[in-house]
Structure 1
């Protein structure tokens, strides 16, 4: 799932920008044509919200900072973290006219609304080319122009995804990392780096403040704040006066089954009834399922055949509208077979549910509703994602179905109901970070409901309603959840209480990859600093084969960051002398193990 999510994010991120750029240019031309009027009246047009006491305290703390000062802005969803960023940046640019600021967001589809907010707020004080975006979805020429504007100091505010942290900014005076917990900040291919950690490091090198914002901070950042290394700023209430956090209701699927209550292809009766009630009131509903496609598996009941990718050790996903089976790891695709290739049975059927299947079920369960699906498959064309989100904001959609693309950052004013499907899978993951990611994901998607003052409700379908994670979610208790998770990690000697590095090898055979890692482990014996490092056995990755390449990993960890770094510095020259694999890479602080 983690690897699929990375690919989903990358595919989504590549599709969102032409329309944004066209709209920006149109707005620029309009401003140029009416330049005199705009300059005269811009202060009247821009409605600056009144800050709450907590927001005021956060802005004052950031503005008063001199030199390196890391802040963790912990604010519930809808608490006005963006307004804190805007006020702090406005104060910086007023105090230092030539200063530059860098604002990072986790995904490209979040940049249009951030860019619109920044342009609106600074329209009267900054030139149009003083705010630029940097991300992989831009055309090469536009990205080069924006990079050059940042490099020569003409761009005062640079907004972008993780690659923007590497931009040349000669007068950089403040950094902001929004949704700092998001795994998308970690580059998983090529040069492996964490944009969040690099932002903190860069701020320290330049001796400037850095603000990390999130409703669900990563446990690493939370622990830094607990130790006093970061200054924690808290926004405990929503910014809109009459907006409160949504009520969270757990729907026990086992109880629904025992009572014989009707369901609609994975949609429980209570959830369907709640969506119908919102439809009657003219409000919007959001259904979240972090699995795209129609169904994750196509199988034969007669012989047990399951459709798999010939190039990967993974199942292929059924995409019904395209009548195709597609691998989300390598891109292999084929037509849906008419019968089982093993036994000839024509009664082959999909197992499980993806967003396409839920969209189809909603058309039957709530026939009068206008249903829209937003995922990597529906936003392949450039500009399509923003067009779809515009339809949602305009009220042309009654029920929105989607993956993690819709779960964070978006300010849906009319959404009063959020339904969460199939969240239980992460409870049984082998990844020790799975619970942290699930809680953050559920808190983020829950935050889409009730943002404008409408009473919000979140309905989570689960077979384990008594699980501690869901109880913390129902209380909106991130602090309690984080402290419990940190206690577990301390007892289990897991990050952030130990430091890890992961050596991955890719070979033509699994034996070759494991042999390479075995030699690499033996080489550690010659490194004195490795005495303080624990070396685990080499094992295959969860998805062993991708594109006919076999993969394995070797984990090393230490309670001393210095000992681990010294070991890695001495180890890398040795690794370069080893042969037998196609490629290898060494990642510090890995997120996927």
Structure 2
């Protein structure tokens, strides 16, 4: 019989699949998409996913056998495997890296090397002293891991010592696979087998005549089972549900179990909960929305992606709901992608009221168990017809995808920056739609330059909503010249008189205010007023951000933290002062200026917990907060009825960064946050503070002229060879030694230029040239859209391989970022 082999995807950043032989015992159960356990390296076990089966033994190495097959059915579909392969090829990473990003942690097994003490070992006289520390630890504990052994022995490299102890027979090794996902179980109560007939049950009831609480509880149990017949058939009732129905019933339950009236069983329960409310009908559309819906359908019939460009509060979400309803009525699935977890909080409640338990939510703040259960539901044709989620939702195993909605399609949060794969979920969704022959709708009030270009050139079908729902006017935007106000000494800290006047008026009218500052922390940095010394991170070439609430300096690149110094590190002067301002400082100062106002802050520091977003948004929605201070999180698609005023505190910071997308991002953020004002009942106001009121982008924001901004900016993109006219590939070269890095990056730049010429820019140091103790160099490659992407990437990879294969540079890292944001 011909030997069978399987190509396995393993979670390692190596540019190939690994071939293993299939033992006869697994011949019938090994199939693409199933997880298997294999040995990788000398003693390491790994779980991987079968990619393909074949009869070809590899020539380069002897195959090992698959050790175990973990699944009876596929965990990853064929469509998903094909998508993984495409993502790896397009974004210049490995399929193993895609596997690590795609599969929930709960479905990935981890190999844990455990060390045990051999109770019968013979004494050895020449052991190093630190060996006894490990032996004594193992004598007092059942086992320890290799990481723990390093701690116990205080050795950076504990492997030689462990190897010595194993060879001496003192320590035993057991390599075990541990699964991080465990089904959630609860205690349930069931009628004891000895009472599962009517006569026996009747007699048991009669025996409880002198125990009224037990009798009450047993009657409630039978009722919750659905009647006597169901109870006799073995219907279970969750213990907590029964106790919730009978006050003080815990003692009675214990007695009934003791008397063998009820028995206890552990049952698997759903982590995701269920919807108990009333399903609402979809709302009727306005005439403008009906027209837009007809145009969207026309675009779908042409087989094109549709770009819905609708001003803020124009009713785009209502159109999405109608399209989802149409899709699931045909038995197909819908994916609703959002850029931020914060947005899922509001949208979930809105969609749940229409789709109930058909809606599944999927994002990284869910526990492993919750994400695994959504994944498994999608595999087994379960209850979810609609998935609402962030970028990782594209990896779910959809059965029959009929519609993808990418809301806020312009948002850079759809791009994963680190680690690989550095994919853009919007662009991957476009590919998924093409492969699955499903409809895709990109919606936004401020389209990305690339998407609008594709719509204008006919690649996408363009639909526009130019007015707000129910005729609400767009907010009135007032520009305040902060430079002039500072010259006249009218500014109160970072607030202009006009902004403070309108905040006062809004609070008097019981209305709400949003203040936008796109920098978290208290101040960007501290500075010595004597010698201008600035505290910097010891691991990164960047100043430390001051966080006043914790009296700490924090590096926002690596997370390094130190307590605030009282004296200058250079001259010893105590004259340290804060420079600039972040959301913490805005929050503190606004509380001083408006002591009666209830102030909340939405930034990364206040939303770390799984419920952080939800609590803040819920409090603001209910009117429990008067003023919300926030970073870019508050700009995106949130819908608050009572917000009448938005203050943009520092527009200049968004327009002056060294990035070709700075104007686009600045316009988008200012337009989006302005759209939070006056969404219901009355026209809102926006105060935009800037030192350059005549800046072209500011003028386009004030007049809400996206088309004008596009025409102004697209000419620059073409002139300087940026997207959408060219594709970009960014290479980041890293090493701990600056000299080695410079030599390697210079060589890499030269070999790239030998084939790509002036398409290659660099190498050069980025603005932050050291992060986490690694020095950095950047190389930017601009490639015409007419060039073959695959051939270009093959050439780039060959240049990278040629560089890092040389002995002096073998530890240099080169990270490719395709379509960088």
Per the normalisation by structure 1, the TM-score is 0.88
2:784 counterpart residue number: 559
Distance 2:742 2:292 in 1: 51
Unmatched 5+ stretches in structure 2 = 1-269
Which has the greater radius of gyration? 2
1:512 aligns with 2:740: yes
Note the C-alpha offset of 1:69.
2.2
Q: Is the 8 A contact 1:54 1:234 kept in 2?
A: no
1:352 aligns with 2:352: no
State the secondary structure of the residue aligned to 2:549.
coil
Q: Is the 8 A contact 2:271 2:369 kept in 1?
A: no
State the secondary structure of the residue aligned to 1:465.
coil
1:222 counterpart residue number: 452
Note the C-alpha offset of 1:578.
2.8
Distance 1:464 1:565 in 2: 44
Query: Where in structure 2 are the equivalents of 1:176-187 lying within 5 Å?
Result: 176-187=405-416
Note the C-alpha offset of 1:571.
2.9
1:53 counterpart residue number: 287
Distance 1:28 1:170 in 2: 22
Larger relative contact order (Cα-Cα within 8 Å, sequence gap ≥ 6): 1
Q: Is the 8 A contact 1:69 1:208 kept in 2?
A: no
1:188 counterpart residue number: 417
Note the C-alpha offset of 1:237.
1.0
Question: Structure 2 vs 1, CA of residues 520 and 258 (structure 1 numbering), >3 Å: closer, same or farther?
Answer: closer
Distance 1:202 1:487 in 2: 31
1:326 counterpart residue number: 554
State the secondary structure of the residue aligned to 2:768.
strand
* Residues 284-313 of structure 1, C-alpha deviations (whole Å, 9 max, x = no match): 111000111111111111111111111100
Q: Is the 8 A contact 2:271 2:373 kept in 1?
A: no
The equivalent position to 1:259 in structure 2, one of 488, 506, 519, is 488
Note the C-alpha offset of 1:561.
4.2
Note the C-alpha offset of 1:260.
3.4
Question: Structure 2 vs 1, CA of residues 249 and 27 (structure 1 numbering), >3 Å: closer, same or farther?
Answer: farther
Question: Structure 2 vs 1, CA of residues 259 and 340 (structure 1 numbering), >3 Å: closer, same or farther?
Answer: closer
Q: Is the 8 A contact 1:472 1:481 kept in 2?
A: yes
1:301 aligns with 2:545: no
* Residues 196-230 of structure 1, C-alpha deviations (whole Å, 9 max, x = no match): 11111111112221100010000000000010110
1:169 counterpart residue number: 398
Distance 2:787 2:336 in 1: 30
State the secondary structure of the residue aligned to 1:228.
coil
* Residues 69-120 of structure 1, C-alpha deviations (whole Å, 9 max, x = no match): 20000000111111111101111222x12x1111110011111222211111
2:274 counterpart residue number: 28
State the secondary structure of the residue aligned to 1:576.
helix
Q: Is the 8 A contact 2:311 2:467 kept in 1?
A: yes
1:550 aligns with 2:796: no
Note the C-alpha offset of 1:29.
6.3
2:307 counterpart residue number: 72
Distance 2:620 2:378 in 1: 33
Note the C-alpha offset of 1:174.
1.1
1:364 aligns with 2:592: yes
Q: Is the 8 A contact 2:506 2:512 kept in 1?
A: yes
Q: Is the 8 A contact 1:153 1:171 kept in 2?
A: no
1:207 aligns with 2:441: no
* Residues 445-473 of structure 1, C-alpha deviations (whole Å, 9 max, x = no match): 00100001222000001110111111111
2:267 counterpart residue number: none
Question: Structure 2 vs 1, CA of residues 510 and 563 (structure 1 numbering), >3 Å: closer, same or farther?
Answer: farther
1:112 aligns with 2:358: no
State the secondary structure of the residue aligned to 1:267.
coil
The equivalent position to 1:310 in structure 2, one of 524, 528, 538, is 538
Equivalences, count: 544
1:132 aligns with 2:360: yes
Note the C-alpha offset of 1:47.
6.0
Distance 2:750 2:765 in 1: 18
Distance 1:351 1:236 in 2: 41
The equivalent position to 1:571 in structure 2, one of 787, 796, 803, is 796
1:433 counterpart residue number: 661
State the secondary structure of the residue aligned to 1:541.
coil
2:477 counterpart residue number: 248
Distance 2:388 2:275 in 1: 21
State the secondary structure of the residue aligned to 1:138.
coil
1:231 counterpart residue number: 461
Question: Structure 2 vs 1, CA of residues 217 and 72 (structure 1 numbering), >3 Å: closer, same or farther?
Answer: same
The equivalent position to 2:625 in structure 1, one of 397, 403, 407, is 397
Per the normalisation by structure 2, the TM-score is 0.64
State the secondary structure of the residue aligned to 1:578.
helix
Unmatched 5+ stretches in structure 1 = 1-23, 32-37
The equivalent position to 2:677 in structure 1, one of 449, 461, 469, is 449
* Residues 407-450 of structure 1, C-alpha deviations (whole Å, 9 max, x = no match): 11110110000000112023222211000000000000001000
1:8 counterpart residue number: none
Distance 2:743 2:286 in 1: 60
Distance 1:502 1:78 in 2: 36
Q: Which moved more, 1:438-447 or 1:451-460?
A: 451-460
Q: Is the 8 A contact 1:503 1:554 kept in 2?
A: yes
Question: Structure 2 vs 1, CA of residues 50 and 301 (structure 1 numbering), >3 Å: closer, same or farther?
Answer: same
State the secondary structure of the residue aligned to 1:377.
helix
Distance 1:494 1:378 in 2: 36
State the secondary structure of the residue aligned to 2:533.
coil
Q: Which moved more, 1:554-563 or 1:270-279?
A: 554-563
Q: Is the 8 A contact 1:119 1:131 kept in 2?
A: yes
Distance 1:360 1:546 in 2: 31
1:424 aligns with 2:652: yes
Q: Is the 8 A contact 1:185 1:196 kept in 2?
A: yes
State the secondary structure of the residue aligned to 1:223.
helix
State the secondary structure of the residue aligned to 1:454.
coil
Question: Structure 2 vs 1, CA of residues 300 and 521 (structure 1 numbering), >3 Å: closer, same or farther?
Answer: closer
1:12 counterpart residue number: none
Distance 2:796 2:598 in 1: 58
Q: Is the 8 A contact 1:68 1:206 kept in 2?
A: no
1:481 counterpart residue number: 709
Q: Is the 8 A contact 1:271 1:419 kept in 2?
A: yes
2:762 counterpart residue number: 537
Distance 2:486 2:443 in 1: 41
Distance 2:656 2:753 in 1: 36
Note the C-alpha offset of 1:564.
4.5
State the secondary structure of the residue aligned to 2:406.
strand
